[in-house]
Structure 1
Amino acid sequence: MAKIIGGITTAHIPAIGVAMDKGLENEPYYRDLFAIYPPIREWLEEEKPDIAVLFYNDHGLEMFLDKKPTFAIGCAPEYENADEGWGIKPIPPVTGETELSWHIVNHLIENDFDPTVCQDIKVDHGATVPLTLLWPNFTYKGIKVIPISINCERHPMPKPSRSLAFGKAIGDAIRCWDKDSKVVLLGTGGLSHQLDGPRAGILNAEFDNWCMDKIVSDPEAICQYSNVELVEKGGAQMVEIAMWLAMRGCIEGEVEERMRNYVSPISNTAVGVQLLIPKD
């Protein structure tokens, strides 16, 4: 049977992708951020997962305001990237895992979720920046990826509790898949940040660290907040914690926090990184 070996939270800030393209990792502005990732890369190299289930939000590359599914799952054999206007170079195609993707879709529908199925979709920086951070030099080519998008741009968005329940259903689907595969989960997106408007640049480190505590010990506690309350506490893009909740929901029971770091601000965004391992 398939086995979930761990979950990783990470930012997907476009400026990170530009910095990697330009070789700026050791510049003072970025140094502390990029110093976070080598231990996680070492863990991935040691564990060698077969599949990455990647929770992200599409920022308009494929799912714009006129067509915005609440939950969407990639079921394609390959995913391409395209120029989004941020200055990030498009990355080589990402290999999909169609069999597990369809298994997840069927399981979700049998358990009262109705995701949009995407058999031809380009993935944006929400997916590509985490892949290049965790598998630099395009070494993600050795792993199959299932991109799962959650709406974090247009209201109404899924409640935090719904994103957590969505992840729980996906975790159940993975565990009952009858293939001997190792699966790693990626919950992407920043913590407190807002990119425009009068509150642009808002950060709330105290609330961010509380959320990181609760992702480990009590993810349901985050669900006490509505999306509006999350915006009030951490800015318009704080709702991206939906991807973290979905990732954590996939893991049954308790987790060991193997690593944690928090850096701010990078492009006016608080970056939280965690490595969570399921407890036996």
Structure 2
Amino acid sequence: MAKITASVYTSHVPAIGAALDLGKTQEPYWQPVFKGYEYSKQWLKGNKPDVIFLVFNDHATAFSLEMIPTFAIGTAAQYQPADEGWGPRPVPVVQGHPDLAGHIAQSVIQQDFDLTIVNKMDVDHGLTVPLSLMCGEQDPLQGAWPCPVIPFAVNVVQYPVPSGQRCFNLGQAIRKAVESYDEDLNVQIWGTGGMSHQLQGPRAGLINKEFDKMFLDKLIADPLAAAAIPHIDYVREAGSEGIELVMWLIARGAMSDIQDGKVTGPAPKLKHRFYHVPASNTAVGHAILENQ
């Protein structure tokens, strides 16, 4: 059967993609950010998955105010990098895994989670920046990402948004779906977005280091407490865009120590943890957990 072996958590700041694409990674401002991912790139080379299930949010690229799915799974064979107003990022086309994606959709919907099935979708920085951070720069014409990717988009842009608890529960359903797939696949699940930031209004530029580090602590060592954080706490403490952190809970809920909403197995092994302020006007957080 297929199995989730590890989870990766990372911010997906669009300015990080711009720094990569414009050759600014060694500039003093950006160097500390990219240094935090040096270990991660080597780790991924030594732990290459067969498929990445990548949880992200669309930034009004694939979806608009005309249609906003709460949870949407990509089932296409490939996904083009999106033009977000200044041209597509110079990165390879993302190859999908329609068979596994279709199986996950079937299984998760039968577990009473409503998913939107997306057969055509361009993917924006929410998906391509994490790939660049973890995989390194790729030639858009001759290069390719290390493996197929299943995009899983979560609405954290237009209210109402899903709670952290629902996202955590959804992660458990995704793991069950993966484990019922009749092929020996090594699957990683990535939760992206965050950490604390606000892009508009009187609190624009808000960064809350204390909240971010508390969230990382709980995500790693007390995931049930992390899942129980109410929506208003994200908004109050982490800014309006800090709600993106609920997507990390999907990845954490998919780890093998969580069964039926309880911690029943050995805790995953923390392989790497990184936090840096700022990158643009955002706090950057990152962690890697391996199942035991």
Q: Given the two structures, how large is their TM-score scaled by the length of structure 2?
A: 0.92
Once residues 107 and 196 of structure 1 are traced to their aligned partners in structure 2, the CA distance between those partners, rounded to angstroms, is 39
TM-score by length of 1: 0.96
User: In the alignment, is the contact (CA less than 8 A) between 1:55 and 1:149 conserved in 2?
Assistant: yes
Contact 2:51 2:97 in 1 (8 A): yes
* Alignment correspondent of 1:197: 201
Structure-2 residue corresponding to 1:109: 109
State the percentage of identical aligned residues. 42
3-state SS in 2 of match to 1:29: coil
Task: Indicate whether 1:152 and 2:165 are aligned.
Answer: no
Greater displacement, 94-103 / 134-143? 134-143
1:82–1:90: 8 Å Cα contact kept in structure 2? no
- Structure number with the higher helix fraction is 1
Give the 5 Å matches for 1:23-34. Answer: 23-34=23-34
Extract unaligned runs of 5+ from structure 2.
Answer: 258-266
Give, in whole Å, the separation in 2 of the partners of 1:218 and 1:65: 36
RMSD: 1.3
1:228 deviates by 2.3
Q: Equivalent residue for 1:240?
A: 244
Given that 2:20 and 2:137 are in contact with CA atoms closer than 8 Å, whether structure 1 keeps it comes out as no
- Cα pair 2:93 2:144 within 8 Å, conserved: no
Summarize the Cα distance change of 1:61–1:117 in structure 2 as closer, same or farther, 3 Å threshold: same
* Contact 1:52–1:145 (Cα < 8 Å) also in 2: yes
- 1:175 deviates by 1.5
The more displaced of 140-149 and 102-111 is 140-149
Indicate conservation of the 8 Å contact 2:189/2:251, yes or no: yes
**Secondary structure, aligned partner of 2:145:** helix
How far apart are the structure 1 equivalents of 2:289 and 2:227? 19
* Counterpart contact for 2:57–2:156, Cα < 8 Å: yes
Q: Shift of the alpha carbon at 1:114?
A: 1.0
Corresponding position of 1:183:
187
d(CA) in 2 for partners of 1:132, 1:88: 14
* 1:1-280 matches, cutoff 5 A: 1-85=1-85, 89-138=89-138, 140-253=144-257, 254-279=267-292
* Mapped partners of 2:226, 2:18: distance in 1: 32
Question: Deviations along 1:140-185, whole A, 9 cap, x unmatched?
Answer: 5330000001110011101110011111100111122111111111
Q: Which segment drifts farther, 131-140 or 231-240?
A: 131-140
Per-residue CA shift, 1:28-61, capped at 9, x if unaligned? 1111100011211111111221100000000100
Aligned partners of 1:99, 1:88: CA distance in 2, in Å?
27
How many residues matched?
A: 279
Please list the CA deviations of residues 182-203 of structure 1 after superposition, one character each: whole Å capped at 9, or x if unmatched: 1111111121000111100111
Displaced runs of 4 or more, over 4 A: none
* Structure 1: tracts of 5 or more residues without a match: none
